[in-house]
Structure 1
Amino acid sequence: MAEVGTWGAPSVGMFPKWQGGMSVDFKKDSDSDVYAITGIDRDEWTIIGFEWRASDRQWGDVNAIVVPSEVRISESPTRIEATALRLHDVSITDILPKIVHKGDFRMRRSHLANSEITITSLGDVPEQD
């Protein structure tokens, strides 16, 4: 989880079996206000990221990656100094259903991380008519 230093790609140890990423479009209604859900003061902080871990037993702690609200971030900054705020009163399973309008989640075997994968056929399990 969050440590002082460069915030990099996700990792579950030395030899992860799968890795991937996600892209999410947030809902735009008042019930999905990520600041209200997380308890973060929008006048003090701007949320620029989230991180969380999970195990086979539970979803882990959630950190919001934030910068002070007065910091203006350009379109493609090369470096950002941020703070990781541990969210003690909310879990990722509380946050995601309330904020995700659309999502695309992809994982692949780690040894294929840099491979181009081309889907050449489609199927169903179980088979469908």
Structure 2
Amino acid sequence: MRKILLLFILFIFMFPTVSLGDILGSECPKSENLVRTTDKDKDELVKALNEIIPKVYGASPEYKEWKIEIIEPMPSLTGFEENYYKMAINFCGKEVADHSWFVRLRFPRLLPAQSASLGELYIVKDKNNNWFAWFQYH
């Protein structure tokens, strides 16, 4: 019995159940409830991050200080970052991806750990003018 339990525990730690990130809601946002945004909405999203980040990352002191590294509408992403747009299409379809923003954050209090100090969110705006993250990559 102990051998089986030990194997089970090892299996859990060897193969994490979530490898690409955490879906924040139980389903994808419904595209009919979303508002199409443009670069002109960037300042509004930056302000909304003050509410979004604590909801996603919690109240831990490590996440109270953050800096924006990238903030772009997903369809505008180029280079390596274009892969995040393709992931969004794969997860929830092109319509949701086309309404989404990609936001990469750096949490300085977690440096020098590059991966741990990185946060990446997929964010949309709904018809009630609420911004929310629908996917957390880091």
Question: Above 0.5 in TM-score?
Answer: no
Tell me the TM-score normalised to structure 1 length. 0.32
Task: Identify the structure with the greater helix proportion.
Answer: 2
TM-score, scaled relative to structure 2: 0.31
